């Protein structure tokens, strides 16, 4: 069995085996490398979206400014929105999951390593494809929500919408297959003894998120297909002159769009639920309730979509129903806040940078939740819908909620990625700038909205009371910008000259800290075995949890009798993704020959992928060095 | 140092201070309702705002207490008790949000049925069909058979029942001081009712992205006493196009209005039958002299501004569909545009005194 | 569709029970520990089908939202030919039955029968596609196209997407046939045929829904 080390089969390419260099990254199927690629890519996209936001804030700093044209402004906020949602924040959560879900459940990789690589490549190439539109005649300009009929050929003849639909369609496929992969991994590859109720909360959040993704993305995919066929093949899905209903787009979009909010925030909940217990040195308070609340949120998340459509005239009955479901979804969210407070209560709290981010998250998210309840009232929402109040609300939830958490998560897990520490003092300075800047940007936007400022306007008149709030908001971008630059400097410094971290610098609770930093490519020398929640803590401090002490790092030798299977690297996921992208350019430019050729090439890569097989080899690592 | 407390207190104090001290009751502000709809909506906001204060104090207070009380002391590496949960506590803090939600839900549901139930325009109500165009508003009064653009005149205290239509893409009709918005969607009959209880001129704006000049798609609602409103309606039912004027410039403007092709799109007589100029898909300019603004709420309708707008619409309102009629170096450009502006402002000028009055009342 | 060793890894875990070890409900495979006895690929297919449900849900939802909103004829009732579509639906149903036989044959290592039934499934799937092509051509001749009306747009995209699913299934099954001549095929490969079968049955069920909601309801 150990002989399944493939003698090179009759494949077109020799199976790549590079461990270092560019080819190793292009052909990698290792979840850790892909996780790092995901996180780096998402931060690059985050940077681009931040620059777009900065230009918009400059334009809005004073009334009646003409720094950028309305058309450019429309492109900026469209790209900012779709980048943040689809290319930065969501993939950031998925990137962390890629890296840590297998480590946390004691697995060697995801269930389908090559599929994972494919998911990453279509996401990143799809994102770059959308960005290429800036140089090819203009980016999409109809808002990231792409409301029909703004996407129809008659209202929007430019190419931007095509890039929007194709790019997000493609990167959506990547997200969906990665979610499927995570589900199979979590169901099937948990370490012996790790029952569902012994899984780290982050893993729970990721399986729930993944289920939401697989149910939420198909309607969006279909919606994108509808725009694509409308624009490329002349169908009539969103052509009002043919009797089409523009409102249908909004339904399809928000059936995806509201779950998407939780797809973004649940991984953040999971991270908070790892960081807060670690730094309070206590287990998560009310673990079963947390899990149950998240499942409830996931279910309810599919039953609240029309609260994005309260002003579209759906009538009082529909508005009442969806208003009530939206209120109800606030309940489990509130419970979570209290549970985190309960975790901190009675702890021995170390104020590391990650914990500071977690605290900032709790505050910001509470405020975002309160405004969330407000906008869930259809009659009040009629006033603030599509205004800066709503802009402020969702930035409190997604920026202050998810993004602050991810920054904290970088501080928490950087030692595991690299084996080096980030500078805590610089980290705290950066934290102060970021959090202060964040609130200076977004708090005044509540008031701007209440004072009558619609969103997505390129300028506003003087003299109706909007100057102060907009100026404050723009001022805040400078503060937050400084904070983000400090963060960046800290990360670069950490890579180059961070202090050695050791395997478990935080005295943490979950299995990823049981292996070395950074983990070897096979993750664990022997299959970890688990006999309680917080498995690694239970090993280090068994007396505190009243469990049998077992060393998760060595207990499972029997399970590795045949050695550890390491899947082979492959070019096919990358090539398949490239073919999809090339074909899309062909369709966008009505170049049918290119589209058809790359279509066949894609089918070929898929067959080559299938016949290449999993491949790989088995390793028998010696258990290195002693204990923690 | 209790930094966390500052954190919690700052936003609360800030907003309370602002609500109390700052002038939040501006032209387009939700905080300055002039009718029952906006009043009800503001009331809901204030109710949740008051409810949220104890929530914020609770979360913030506990957080501050925890941070201060349970912070790690230097050299203390003890392991605290590994509590996994507490059923009673968890039941209690599940109940708290449930109660809050009920407190919010009851008035919400009541207000939904009060404000959003479909109604026919009855006796004493003013029915208006609003059509959104990229990037201006058409207001038709089926009861009176008149049409106007970008400036909605309504009598004080009457219920205004708006039928919302769109000619192209999505728009949203929003006049914050009268009440919340409803979208204008092609092929969908949306409805909104509003009411203003104080005379004045109120700002409104399109709130749903419609590309191009979306930011400049504004309007005014002029709320007048009943008799003034009736007078206004009458002036539209019998508009005077051929103003006899001794002013040379006005006469020149009238000629230019035809010569330069303005009449190809813009009606001056409320689309009266038998008159061939103007098209329904463009803003009519009947009694333009009564208007407060030009370019859909972009500029005040002074002679200078109107001339500026006619001369160079793309600078005033980038992206709009008004053609530029003069070459940049045309020596007559300014003079001709001013003449047209003077002519337009003379239309309905016999009511100018009323207009001055309204401006004075709405000038806050 | 991959080397025998991989197939073994996924399909025939060394299912020793591990009485002394925790978590013994799982299994040790050549690819490491698995916490359930379900093969990864089978789980993946279930998850994919769950996702695909939402996709067809969105398509059928769009069709229903635009039902009776076409501005110009032909309308559904003018062009649908229920007897014809009933026959094609029956063909697809029979193919599902053959799918069961094919899987059973492979499981008992009856390779000739496995080839026969698999060929049968692919053939019946192709016949169904043939009916669909005939129907499409007929509709286009009757003046209905994707550019013509909302009915045309929604009908062709919905049934077309389903047709693509069937075509993918046919190609997949032909892959099995080819493979059985190229490489030794045995009951160890059954899990792959099983997931292809899951896919096939799913596509079949979707057709039943489409046939009911799109075709039959029109005549109620």
Indicate if the pLDDT at residue B359 is higher than 50. no
Give the pLDDT score at A602: 94
Contact B303, B338 (CB under 8 A): yes
Q: What is the ipTM score, two decimals?
A: 0.92
Tell which residue, A382, A378, A393, has the closest CA to residue A324.
A378
Q: B155 φ, ψ to 5°?
A: -80, 150
Q: Are C40 and A559 in contact (CB < 8 Å)? A: no
Contact B119, B160 (CB under 8 A): no
Instruction: Give me chain A's average pLDDT, please.
Output: 92
Indicate if the pLDDT at residue B315 is higher than 50. yes
Between strands B159-166 and B126-133, the pairing is: parallel
Query: End-to-end alpha-carbon separation of chain B, Å?
Result: 46
The residue-averaged pLDDT of A510-528 equals 92
Compute the nearest-CA separation of B190 from chain A (Å): 6
Give the pLDDT score at B275: 63
Mutation for testing the A interface, residue in B17, B39, B82 having most A CBs under 10 Å: B82
- Concatenated DSSP letters of C51-98: HHHHHHHHHHHHHHHTTT--SSSPPHHHH--HHHHHHHHHHHHHHHHH
Give the pLDDT score at A324: 96
Chains with at least 3 CB pairs less than 8 angstroms from chain B: A
Give the pLDDT score at C15: 42
Contact A511, A552 (CB under 8 A): yes
The DSSP H or E segment spanning A218 is helix A201-233
Percent of chain B surpassing pLDDT 90: 57
Measured between CB atoms, which of C40, C70, C154 is closest to A111?
A: C40
Give the pLDDT score at C6: 41
The residue-averaged pLDDT of A397-403 equals 93
More confident residue, A626 or A200: A200
Give the pLDDT score at C162: 97
**pLDDT bucket at B361, cuts 50 / 70 / 90:** very low
Q: How far apart are CA A206 and CA A199, in angstroms?
A: 11
Task: At A284, list the tokens.
Answer: 């998560």
Q: How far apart are CA A170 and CA C22, in angstroms?
A: 42
Whether A320 and chain B come into contact, CB under 8 Å, resolves to yes
Q: How far apart are CA B70 and CA B72, in angstroms?
A: 6
**Phi-psi map region of C124: left, alpha, beta (phi>0 left; psi -120 to 50 alpha):** alpha
Tell which residue, A2, A3, A10, A182, has the closest CA to residue A613.
A10
In chain A, what residues touch C3 (CB-CB under 8 Å)? 4, 6, 9, 613-615
Closest Cα in chain C to A4:
C5
Between strands B179-184 and B171-175, the pairing is: antiparallel
Indicate if the pLDDT at residue A409 is higher than 70. yes
Q: Are A452 and B205 in contact (CB < 8 Å)? A: yes
Tell me: the pLDDT tens digits for C19-66?
Answer: 445 545 788 888 888 888 889 999 999 999 999 999 999 999 999 999
Give the pLDDT score at C83: 93
Closest Cα in chain C to A255:
C58
Closest Cα in chain B to A68:
B318
Give the pLDDT score at C216: 93
Contact A442, A390 (CB under 8 A): no
Angle in degrees, CA C197, C203, C205, rounded to 5 = 100
**Residue A374: strand, helix, or coil:** helix
In chain C, what residues touch A611 (CB-CB under 8 Å)? 1-2
Compute the nearest-CA separation of B143 from chain A (Å): 24
Give the pLDDT score at B10: 62
Indicate if the pLDDT at residue B242 is higher than 80. no
**pLDDT bucket at C88, cuts 50 / 70 / 90:** very high
Give the pLDDT score at B360: 43
Which whole-number Å values give the CA distances from B163 to A212, A317, B159, B221, B270, in the listed order? 38, 20, 13, 16, 20
A246-260, B15-29, B247-261 — which one is most confidently predicted on average?
A246-260
Whether B211 and chain A come into contact, CB under 8 Å, resolves to yes
Instruction: Note which residues in 55-74 of chain B have CB less than 8 A from chain A.
Output: 55-56, 59-60, 62-63, 66-67, 70-72
Tell me: the pLDDT tens digits for B20-46?
Answer: 556 778 889 999 999 999 999 999 999
Instruction: Note which residues in 103-122 of chain C have CB less than 8 A from chain A.
Output: none
Indicate if the pLDDT at residue B356 is higher than 50. no
Compute the nearest-CA separation of B189 from chain A (Å): 8
Residue in this structure with the two tokens 């459940």, named with its chain if needed: A105
Q: How far apart are CA A465 and CA A460, in angstroms?
A: 10
Compute the nearest-CA separation of B281 from chain A (Å): 16
In chain B, what residues touch A312 (CB-CB under 8 Å)? 182-183, 185, 188, 190
Instruction: Give me chain B's average pLDDT, please.
Output: 86
Chains with at least 3 CB pairs less than 8 angstroms from chain A: B, C
Task: At A513, list the tokens.
Answer: 């800290």
Q: Are B205 and A464 in contact (CB < 8 Å)? A: no
Tell me: the pLDDT tens digits for A104-134?
Answer: 999 999 999 999 999 999 999 999 999 999 9
Indicate if the pLDDT at residue A2 is higher than 50. no
Q: How far apart are CA A408 and CA A600, in angstroms?
A: 45
Tell which residue, C199, C136, C202, has the closest CA to residue C171.
C199
In chain B, what residues touch A385 (CB-CB under 8 Å)? 172, 180-181, 207
Q: Are A377 and B70 in contact (CB < 8 Å)? A: no
**Residue A61: strand, helix, or coil:** coil
Tell me: the pLDDT tens digits for B115-171?
Answer: 988 888 888 899 999 999 999 999 999 999 999 999 999 999 999 999 999 999 999
Angle in degrees, CA B292, B293, B294, rounded to 5 = 145
Give the pLDDT score at B8: 57
Measured between CB atoms, which of B41, B186, B191 is closest to A380?
A: B41
In chain B, what residues touch A240 (CB-CB under 8 Å)? 186-187
Tell me: the pLDDT tens digits for A525-548?
Answer: 888 988 889 999 999 998 888 888
For helices C150-182 and C190-210, angle between their N-to-C axes, nearest 10 degrees: 160
Beta strands in chain C (DSSP E): 27-29, 32-34
The residue-averaged pLDDT of A587-598 equals 94
Tell me: the pLDDT tens digits for A280-327?
Answer: 999 999 999 999 999 999 999 999 999 999 999 999 999 999 999 999
Whether B187 and chain A come into contact, CB under 8 Å, resolves to yes
Q: How many residues does chain B have?
A: 364
**pLDDT bucket at A6, cuts 50 / 70 / 90:** very low
Tell me how far the alpha carbon of residue A285 is from its chain's centroid.
25
Q: How far apart are CA C151 and CA C139, in angstroms?
A: 11
- Within 10 Å of residue B3's Cβ, how many Cβ atoms? 11
Contact A554, A623 (CB under 8 A): yes
**pLDDT bucket at A17, cuts 50 / 70 / 90:** confident
Indicate if the pLDDT at residue A576 is higher than 80. yes
Whether B18 and chain A come into contact, CB under 8 Å, resolves to yes
Contact A308, A261 (CB under 8 A): no
Give the pLDDT score at B5: 56
Percent of chain A surpassing pLDDT 70: 97
pTM of the predicted structure, to 2 decimals: 0.92
The radius of gyration computed from the CA coordinates of chain C, to the nearest angstrom, equals 21
Indicate if the pLDDT at residue A625 is higher than 50. no
Compute the nearest-CA separation of C42 from chain A (Å): 9
Indicate if the pLDDT at residue C158 is higher than 60. yes
């Amino acid at each position: 069995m150990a002989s399944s080390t493939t003698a090179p089969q009759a494949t077109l390419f020799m199976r790549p085996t590079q461990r270092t260099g560019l080819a190793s990254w292009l052909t990698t199927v290792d979840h850790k490398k892909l996780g790092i690629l995901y996180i780096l890519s998402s931060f690059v996209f985050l940077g681009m979206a931040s620059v777009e936001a900065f230009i918009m804030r400059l334009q809005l700093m004073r009334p009646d400014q003409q720094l950028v044209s309305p058309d450019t402004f429309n492109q900026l906020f469209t790209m900012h929105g779709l980048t943040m949602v689809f290319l930065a924040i969501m993939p950031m959560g998925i990137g962390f999951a890629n890296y840590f879900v297998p480590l946390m459940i004691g697995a060697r990789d995801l269930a389908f390593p090559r599929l994972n690589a494919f998911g990453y490549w279509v996401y990143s190439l799809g994102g770059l494809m959308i960005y290429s539109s800036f140089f090819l005649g203009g980016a999409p300009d109809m808002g990231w929500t792409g409301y029909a009929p703004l996407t129809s050929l008659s209202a929007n003849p430019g190419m931007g919408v095509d890039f929007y639909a194709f790019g997000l369609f493609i990167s959506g496929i990547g997200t969906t297959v990665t979610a499927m992969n995570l589900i199979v991994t979590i169901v099937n590859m948990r370490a012996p003894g790790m029952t569902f109720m012994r899984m780290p909360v982050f893993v729970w959040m990721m399986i729930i998120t993944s289920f939401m993704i697989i149910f939420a993305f198909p309607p969006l995919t279909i919606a994108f297909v509808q725009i694509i066929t409308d624009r490329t093949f002349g169908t009539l899905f969103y052509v009002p002159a043919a009797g089409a209903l523009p409102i249908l787009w909004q339904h399809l979009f928000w059936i995806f769009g509201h779950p998407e909010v939780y797809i973004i925030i649940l991984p953040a909940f999971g991270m908070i639920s790892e960081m807060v217990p670690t730094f309070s040195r206590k287990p998560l308070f009310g673990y079963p309730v947390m899990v149950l609340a998240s499942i409830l949120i996931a279910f309810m998340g599919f039953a609240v979509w029309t609260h994005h459509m309260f002003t579209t005239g759906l009538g009082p009955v529909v508005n009442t129903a969806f208003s009530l479901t939206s209120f109800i979804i606030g309940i489990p969210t509130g419970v979570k806040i209290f549970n985190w407070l309960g975790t901190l209560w009675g702890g021995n709290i170390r104020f590391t940078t990650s914990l500071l981010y977690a605290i900032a998250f709790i505050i910001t998210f509470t405020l975002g939740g309160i405004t969330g309840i407000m906008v869930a009232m259809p009659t009040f929402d009629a006033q603030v819908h599509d205004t800066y109040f709503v802009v402020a609300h969702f930035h409190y939830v997604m920026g202050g909620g998810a993004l602050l958490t991810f920054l904290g998560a970088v501080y928490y897990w950087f030692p595991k990625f690299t084996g080096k520490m980030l500078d805590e003092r610089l980290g705290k300075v950066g934290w102060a700038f970021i959090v202060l800047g964040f609130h200076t940007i977004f708090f005044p936007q509540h008031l701007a909205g209440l004072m009558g400022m619609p969103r997505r306007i390129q300028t506003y008149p003087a003299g109706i009371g909007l100057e102060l709030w907009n100026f404050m908001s723009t001022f805040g971008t400078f503060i937050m910008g400084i904070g983000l630059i400090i963060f960046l400097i800290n990360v670069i410094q950490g890579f180059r000259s961070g202090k050695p971290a050791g395997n478990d610098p935080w005295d943490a609770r979950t299995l990823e800290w049981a292996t070395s930093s950074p983990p070897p490519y096979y993750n664990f020398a022997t299959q970890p075995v688990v006999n309680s929640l917080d498995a690694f803590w239970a090993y280090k401090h068994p007396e505190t949890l009243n469990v049998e002490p077992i060393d998760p790092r060595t207990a499972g030798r029997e399970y590795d009798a045949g050695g550890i299977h390491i899947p082979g690297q492959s070019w096919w996921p990358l090539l398949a993704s490239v073919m999809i992208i090339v074909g899309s350019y062909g369709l966008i430019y009505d170049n049918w020959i290119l589209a058809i050729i790359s279509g066949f090439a894609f089918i070929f890569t898929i067959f080559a992928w299938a016949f290449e097989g999993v491949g790989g080899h088995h390793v028998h690592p010696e258990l290195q060095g002693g204990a923690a | 140092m209790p930094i966390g407390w500052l954190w919690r207190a700052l936003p609360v104090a800030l907003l309370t201070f602002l609500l109390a001290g700052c002038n939040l009751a501006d032209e387009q502000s939700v905080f300055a309702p002039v009718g029952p709809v906006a009043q009800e909506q503001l009331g809901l906001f204030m109710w949740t705002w008051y409810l949220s204060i104890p929530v914020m104090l609770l979360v913030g207070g506990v957080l501050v207490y925890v941070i201060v009380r349970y912070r790690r002391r230097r050299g203390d590496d003890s392991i605290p008790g590994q509590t996994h949960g507490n059923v009673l506590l968890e039941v209690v803090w599940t109940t708290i949000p449930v109660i809050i939600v009920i407190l919010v839900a009851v008035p919400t549901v009541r207000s939904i049925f009060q404000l959003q139930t479909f109604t026919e325009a009855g006796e004493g109500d003013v029915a208006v069909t609003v059509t959104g165009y990229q990037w201006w508003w058409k207001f038709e009064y089926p009861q009176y058979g008149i049409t106007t653009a970008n400036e909605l005149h309504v009598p004080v205290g009457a219920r205004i029942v708006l039928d919302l239509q769109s000619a192209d893409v999505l728009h949203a009709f929003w006049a914050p001081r009268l009440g919340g918005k409803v979208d204008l969607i092609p092929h969908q009959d949306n409805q909104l009712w509003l009411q203003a209880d104080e005379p004045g001129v109120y700002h409104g704006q399109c709130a749903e992205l419609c590309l191009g000049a979306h930011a400049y798609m504004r309007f005014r609602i002029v709320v007048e006493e009943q008799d003034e409103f009736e007078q206004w309606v009458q002036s539209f039912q019998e508009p005077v196009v051929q103003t006899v004027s001794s002013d040379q410039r006005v006469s020149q403007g009238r000629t230019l209005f035809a010569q330069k092709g303005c009449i190809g799109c813009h009606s001056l007589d409320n689309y009266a039958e038998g008159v061939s100029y103007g098209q329904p898909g463009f803003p009519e300019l009947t009694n333009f002299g009564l208007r407060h603004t030009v370019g859909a709420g972009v500029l005040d309708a002074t002679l200078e501004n109107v001339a500026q707008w006619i001369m160079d619409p793309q600078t005033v309102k980038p992206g709009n569909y008004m053609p530029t009629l003069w070459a940049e170096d045309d020596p007559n450009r300014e003079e001709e545009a001013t003449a047209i502006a003077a002519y337009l402002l003379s239309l309905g000028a016999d009511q100018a005194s009323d207009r001055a009055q309204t401006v004075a009342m709405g000038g806050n | 569709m991959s080397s025998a060793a991989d197939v073994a890894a996924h399909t025939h875990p060394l299912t020793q029970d591990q009485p002394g070890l925790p978590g013994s409900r799982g299994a040790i495979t050549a690819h490491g520990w698995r916490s359930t006895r379900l093969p990864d690929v089978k789980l993946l297919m279930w998850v994919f089908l769950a996702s695909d449900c939402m996709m067809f849900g969105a398509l059928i939802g769009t069709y229903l939202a635009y039902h009776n909103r076409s501005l110009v004829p032909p309308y559904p009732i003018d062009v649908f030919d229920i007897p014809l579509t009933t026959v094609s639906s029956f063909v697809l149903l029979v193919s599902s039955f053959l799918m069961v036989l094919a899987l059973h044959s492979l499981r008992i290592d009856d390779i000739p029968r496995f080839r026969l039934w698999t060929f049968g499934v692919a053939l019946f799937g192709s016949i169904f596609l043939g009916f669909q092509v005939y129907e499409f051509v007929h509709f286009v001749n009757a003046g209905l196209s994707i550019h013509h009306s909302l009915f045309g747009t929604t009908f062709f995209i919905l049934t077309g997407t389903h047709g693509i699913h069937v075509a993918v299934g046919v190609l997949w099954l032909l892959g099995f046939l080819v493979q059985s001549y190229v490489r030794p095929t045995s009951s160890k490969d059954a899990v792959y045929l099983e997931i292809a079968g899951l896919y096939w049955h799913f596509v079949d069920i979707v057709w039943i829904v489409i046939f009911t909601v799109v075709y039959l309801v029109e005549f109620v």
